[in-house]
A and B are shown apart, each in its own frame.
Chain A
Amino acid sequence: MNSAPVTGWITEVQRFSIHDGPGIRTTVFFKGCPLRCWWCHNPETQDGGPELAFTASKCIACGECVKVCPQRQGPDGDTRDISINRAKCTVCGACAQACPASAREIVGREVGIDEVIREVDRDRPFYRQSGGGMTLSGGEPLLQADFAIGLLQAAKTISLHTCIETCAQVPPDVLDRALPLVDLFLCDFKETDCQRHRNWTGQGNDRILANLRHLHAAGANMRLRCPVIPGLNDRDDHFAGIAALARELSGIEGVELMPYHQLGESKMERFGITARPGISAKAPELEVLRGWIDDLTSRGVRVLNCPA
C-alpha cells in the first residue's frame, strides 16, 4: 500500500505573522475557499488552483510575455499589446517564466508537507521566545482536509503551537479530525443574519453556527474573529448577535474585531477580478471601532485586540 505523498495548493508561507494567533508565527495561506465574501482581503486564495497575477508597476514593457504565449500564436504576434486575455489564458505560466521583471507571476503552487514544515521550522527560535508557532489560513485550510491535517500532524510531531483560521463552512467530521491537533481555532463569524450572510458570501451561516457550537462542545480553544465592514455588518443587531453567540460559547477566549481594509482591492487589480458591488467601504474610523469594542464589552464580551 504505497499511497502518493499528500500535497496541497498554497499561495505563500508568510513568516513573522503577528496577527494570526499568539506570538510570532508563520502562516500558511491555502488556496481555495467555499465563500466569496465581498470584502475578501485575500482574493487570490478564493480559487483552488494557480492564477496569473500581473503587477503593472513592475512591467518594463519588453514584450517577452507575448512572444512566448501559446494563445498568441507564436513569436510573430504583436508584442506591443501586453494585456492579458483571461478568457483564453490557460495559466500555463510561460509568460511568467519569460518575464524578467516579475511583473507576471503565477500565484499558487503545489507543495508537499515536508517542504512546508521545513520552512515553518526555520523560525523556531522566534516561536520559542514569543510563544508563537504555525497558523493555517487562506482561503479555507480545511477545504484541503488531508493536506491540512497532515501539516498539523507534522507540526505536532516537532512540538509546534498550532492555530487554524477557518470560516467553518466545512464538513463537521473534518473539524473532528483537526480538533486534537489544533491549539487554537480562530473562527470567523461574519454576519448574524442568515440571508445577508448568503447575499454577501454566497452561503448562509447555519452550518457555520452549527460547527462553532460543535467545536465549543468538543472543548476546542476558540476565538471568534468578526470582520467589521462599514455599510454592511456594522449594525447594532449584528453586534448584539456577536455578543449573544460569544455568551453562548462561554468557553471561548474572546472576540477579535477585524476592521475592513482595502488591501483586497489592490490585489483584485492584479488578478483581474472585478470589484464587488456595494463595496466602496473605507476602513472604519478608529473612534467607531472603539465604540463597538465598548459596546461588546458592556455586553459582557471579552474583546482581545485593540485595533490601531
Chain B
Amino acid sequence: MHYLCAAYVLTPSPSKRPIMATTGLLHPENRTRLLEVLRELGEWAALGFYEAIDLPRPRAYGRAFLRLYENMAILVPEGRLLIPCEPLPHSRTMESHREWFATSLIMNFHHHFGFHILPEIAQQKKVDFPRHVAVIDAVVEDLGKRLVQFGGYTHSNPDMRRVVGEGFLAMQRELDQQIAAVDREVEQAVPGERHLLAALKDYSDGVLALHRRTVAALRDAAAGRPELRPIADALAHGFLHPAQTFLQGFLAVNFAWMLDGCDSIGRPDQVLGALYERDLASGAIKPELARRLLDELYLSFERLNGWNLQIGGRTPDGHDGTNALTLECIDACKRNRIRRPNVAFRITGQTPDTAIIRALEALREGSGRPALYNDDLYIQTLCEMDLGLSSEDARELGFGGCTETMIAGLSNVGSLEGEINLAKALELALHDGYDLVARRQAGPHTGRFTDFGDFNDFLGAVRRQIQFLTDRFVVSISAQLRRRFEEGDPKLYRTMFTRDCVKRRKSFEAGGARYNWSVVSYQGMANLIDSLAAIHSCVFQNRTILAADLMAALAADFQGYEFTRQRLLGAPKFGNDIAEVDNLGREVIEFAWRELYAHEPPRGGRYLASCILFSTYAEAGRGVGATPDGRKALTPLADSAGPFSGRDRRGPTAMLSSVTTLPLDLGVGTPVVNIRLQRQLLDQPEGLQKIVSLIRGYFAKGGMQIQISVISKNEMLAAQREPEKHGDLIVRIGGYSEYFTRLSGSLQESVIERTEHGTT
C-alpha cells in the first residue's frame, strides 16, 4: 500500500566495486567455508539459503526458514504474556517509513517483501566482524541479485480458522499426503510442484522447531515468572492441535501471525468467539486476562506495523456473528488510543444497535477505530462480481492492510497493485495530453480546450485520457507481476497458511490461493467531479468564464486570477446532494471503473477498483497542477471517495447521499468515506442512537464503508486559520448544531473552550 516506496529503499543497489578475491568464496568448492562464516555471523536465513543454493529454486527459501527457525534467539521480555512478541529477534520499527525489521539479520524477512537484504545491517556487521568484510560484501551483492523486488504490494490474512480449528499438524499432514501423491505420480508429476512441496516440508519443519523452542523458552522463563506456565502449556498444545480453550486459540493466532511477518489476522472474534464465550461461562478464563492479551496484541500491531483485523459480519452459514469477543475487540480500540490495528467492523442488518453504539463510544475517544462496513452489501456485491465465490466463502470476506477487500485465509489479493490518478487524467484532457507538472506530452492529443464546441466534447477527451492511463497502468503492472510470480520470493509462509495452495501444489505468488484478485486505488475522484461541474457551469452553461481565461488561470496557478478562482469555487460541488453534479460524477467514475474491469490481471481473477487514500491524498496532489475546481497546483487531492475537504456544506445526510450516487459497488476494493463528527454529537444516548440511524440509513442507500473521526481542538484551530477548507465541521452550541465556520470569532472561541472541558 502506501509504504510501497519502502520496497525500493530496502532493495540494495548492487556494489559497483569488483570483488575478485571474494568471488571465489561463493564458488561451490568453498561452500563449507562460506556456511561456517554465515554461522559465525548469525546469518541463519542466509545459511539455509546457501545450503540449498544448488537445488531447484524454492528449496533455498525453505531451507532458509528451517535454519532461521532452528537457530534464531527467542526472547521472553519482562511483563509480556503474549509470546512470541516479535517475528524475528531484536526487531524494531524503522521510523523513516515505519516498516518493521530485525536488527540482527542482513538477510531479513517481511510479510510482503519476503526475504530481502538490509544494507544498513550489513554495514553494522562489517564493523562487528572486520575479518568477514569481504564475505559480507560478496553475500550482499549476490543475494541482492537473487532476492529482487517487483511492483505491487500484497497484504494477506492467514487461514486462522484452520490454525485454530485443525491445528498445524493437520496442515502438515495435508502437505505429507501431497508429497506422497507426487511421489506416486513420478512420471506425470510437474517437477516444479515436487520442489515446491519439498521446500514447504523444510519450511514446516522449521515452524515446528520454532514452536518447540518457543514453548521451551516459555517454560524456562516460567521458573522465575509462574504466570507464564499456563501460557507455555496452552501454546504447547494449541498451535499444533485443534484449540480446546480460548487461550490456546489466541496464542495459536498470535503464533501464526508472527510466522506471517505480522500483517493482518482475519476474523479473530469469529475464529475464537465460541471458545471465548464458553470459557467465560465456565470461568476457565477471566475477562481481565482476555483484555490483557488483547491489549498486548494491539500493542504488537502498533509496534510491529501490523495491519488489519475484522470483527462482526456474517458467519459462513449466514447469521450475524456479533459475540462477546466482538465487543471486547471494540472496547480494546477504546482503551488503546493508537493507530493500529485497523479494526474493520462488519455491520449486518442483524448487528445489534448496542454493538454499533459500543463502536461509536470507542470512536468518541478519538483513535478513529473501528471503521464501519456494510457487510450485506459487500457480500452481495462480491457474489455478483463473477469472482467464482461461493456464498459461504464470500461471508468470510476480510480486509488486508488499510481496507483492501479479500477473503480471510482463502485469497491472494494484490493490495495495492497501484493507483490511477483521475485528477491527472483531467489535467491531461485540459491540456491536450500535456503534463503541466512533468512538463512533457504524457498522454494522447485529445484536443485543445479552447476548441471544444460543447461540454460533451470535453467529456470525451477526459474519457480518452482515463482510458489511456488505465491501459498504461495495466500494461506496466502486469509485466511486473508476471516477473514477480516467476522470479520473486514464492512466499512459503503464505503458501502454507492460505487455503488450497498446498492442495493445488502452487505457491501463493503463482496463484495457489482459492481466490486471486488485485485491488487498484483511484485518486482525485472529487477533484475530477468538482472540476467537471465547474467547467460545465462556468464555461459552457452560464458562460461566466471564457475557455481561454480558464486556461490562463490554471497555467498561472490562479496568480492574478482570484476572481476566476472564486467563480469556480462558487460552482456546485460534489457532496451536497445536487443531482446534476452527482450524476456527472456517477457517469465518469463508472466509466473509469468499467475500463479497469475490462482488463484481466496476470494471476487471473479481477482488478477491483477502490478508493483508499488515507494520508496519501496530499502526496497524490503533488504531481497535479491547478484544477478547475479551484484547487491550487501541487496541493492535496480529495480525501478518498468523499467530497473535497470542506466542500460538503449541507450536512452528513446530503454528503452521504452524494457519495451513494457513485457506483460504489464497482469500487468494492473499498470506496473509503471519511466523515468527521464533533465529539458532543456522540455524548448523549439519543445522539448515539441518531448516529446509528445515520449509518444504517447510509447503508440502506448503498453506502459500503464509513470511517468516523471525532473533531479535535486542533482541527477547530485549523478551521479558524483556513475556514474555506473546513466548511463541513459541525459543532454543537447549546442544544443546537451549527457549522463551525459560520460562527463569529468569539463564538468559535467559546466552542473551542467548551470542547476542551468536554475532553478533560
Residues of chain A at the chain B interface (Cβ within 8 Å): 14-19, 23-24, 41, 57, 60, 62, 64, 100-102, 122-123, 125-126, 128-132, 256-263, 265-266, 269, 282-283, 305-308
Contact = CB atoms under 8 A, between A and B. Distances in A.
A306 B736 CA distance: 12
Residue of B569, B680, B736, B747 with most partner-chain A CB within 10 A? B736
A22 to B, nearest CB: 9
Contact of B736 (A41, A64, A101, A265): A41
Interface in B676-715: 680-681, 683-684, 687, 689-690, 692-694, 696-698, 700-701
Nearest to B680: A308
B654 interface: yes
B695 to A, nearest CB: 8
Given A15-B650, A15-B651, A125-B701, A263 B738 contact: yes
A277 B681 CA distance: 33
Contact of B693 (A60, A130, A259, A260): A130
Contacts of A132: 693
B558 to A, nearest CB: 12
A100 B564 CA distance: 8
Contacts of B651: 14-16
Interface in B623-666: 650-654, 657
Given A16-B651, A62-B563, A262 B747 contact: yes
Contact of B737 (A18, A102, A131, A269): A18
Contacts of B733: 261-263, 283
A19 B697 contact: no
Nearest to B568: A100
B577 interface: yes
Contact of A60 (B562, B654, B742, B747): B562
A126 B737 contact: no
Interface in B703-760: 723, 732-738, 742-744, 746-747, 750, 758
B735 A283 contact: no
A131 B696 CA distance: 12
A269 B742 CA distance: 12
Residue of B566, B738, B743, B758 with most partner-chain A CB within 10 A? B566
Contacts of A19: 735-737
Given A19-B735, A258-B735, A283-B750, A123 B653 contact: yes
Given A15-B650, A15-B653, A62-B562, 20 more contacts: A15-B651, A16-B651, A16-B652, A16-B694, A18-B681, A24-B653, A100-B566, A123-B657, A130-B694, A257-B735, A259-B735, A260-B734, A261-B734, A261-B747, A262-B746, A262-B747, A283-B733, A307-B734, A308-B683, A308-B758
Interface of B (DSSP majority class): helix
Contacts of B694: 16, 24, 126, 129-130
Contacts of B577: 15, 122
B697 A24 contact: yes
Contacts of A282: 750
19 contacts: A16-B654, A16-B694, A19-B737, A57-B723, A100-B563, A122-B653, A122-B657, A123-B657, A125-B697, A125-B698, A125-B701, A126-B693, A126-B694, A129-B693, A129-B697, A130-B694, A262-B733, A266-B742, A283-B750
Nearest to A269: B744
Nearest to A127: B697
B735 to A, nearest CB: 5
B570 interface: yes
Contacts of A263: 733-734, 736, 738, 743, 747
Contacts of B742: 266
B567 interface: yes
Contacts of A283: 733-734, 750
A189 to B, nearest CB: 15
Contacts, number: 117
A307 B562 CA distance: 43
A211 B747 CA distance: 36
Contacts of B734: 258-261, 263, 283, 307
B732 A265 contact: no
A41 B693 CA distance: 28
Contacts of B653: 15-16, 24, 122-123, 126
Nearest to B566: A100
Contacts of B732: 308
Contacts of B750: 262, 282-283
B697 A256 contact: no
A125 B696 CA distance: 8
Residue of A125, A257, A283 with most partner-chain B CB within 10 A? A125
B480 to A, nearest CB: 43
A179 B498 CA distance: 65
Contacts of A260: 734
A256 B735 CA distance: 10
A256 B744 CA distance: 26
B747 A128 contact: no
A15 B650 CA distance: 7
Contacts of A125: 697-698, 700-701
B736 A60 contact: no
Nearest to A260: B734
A269 to B, nearest CB: 7
A90 B264 CA distance: 65
Contacts of A258: 734-735
A24 B747 contact: no
B687 A18 contact: yes
Nearest to A103: B566
Contacts of B654: 15-16, 122
Given A24-B690, A24-B697, A62-B563, A261 B736 contact: yes
Nearest to A100: B566
A176 B272 CA distance: 61
Contacts of A64: 563
Contacts of B562: 60, 62
Residue of B653, B694, B701 with most partner-chain A CB within 10 A? B653
Interface string B327-369: 0000000000000000000000000000000000000000000
Please provide the 5 A-B residue pairs with the shortest distance between their CB atoms, ordered closest to farther: A266-B744, A130-B693, A100-B566, A126-B697, A16-B651
Contact of B690 (A18, A60, A256): A18
A122 to B, nearest CB: 6
A123 B577 CA distance: 10
A305 B683 CA distance: 13
A30 B562 CA distance: 35
Contacts of B735: 19, 256-259, 305, 307
B563 A23 contact: no
Nearest to A64: B563
Given A283-B750, A308-B684, A129 B700 contact: yes
A222 B734 CA distance: 22
A129 B723 contact: no
A16 B700 CA distance: 16
A64 B563 CA distance: 10
A67 B652 CA distance: 38
Contact of B697 (A14, A41, A128, A259): A128
A261 B748 CA distance: 12
Contacts of A256: 735
A304 to B, nearest CB: 10
Nearest to A13: B650
A238 to B, nearest CB: 18
Nearest to B723: A57
Given A15-B654, A16-B651, A62-B563, A130 B690 contact: yes
B457 to A, nearest CB: 27
Contacts of B693: 23-24, 126, 129-132
A306 B683 CA distance: 11
Contacts of A62: 562-563, 566
Residue of A19, A57, A259 with most partner-chain B CB within 10 A? A19
A306 B700 contact: no
Contacts of B652: 16
A102 B651 CA distance: 19
Contacts of A262: 733, 744, 746-747, 750
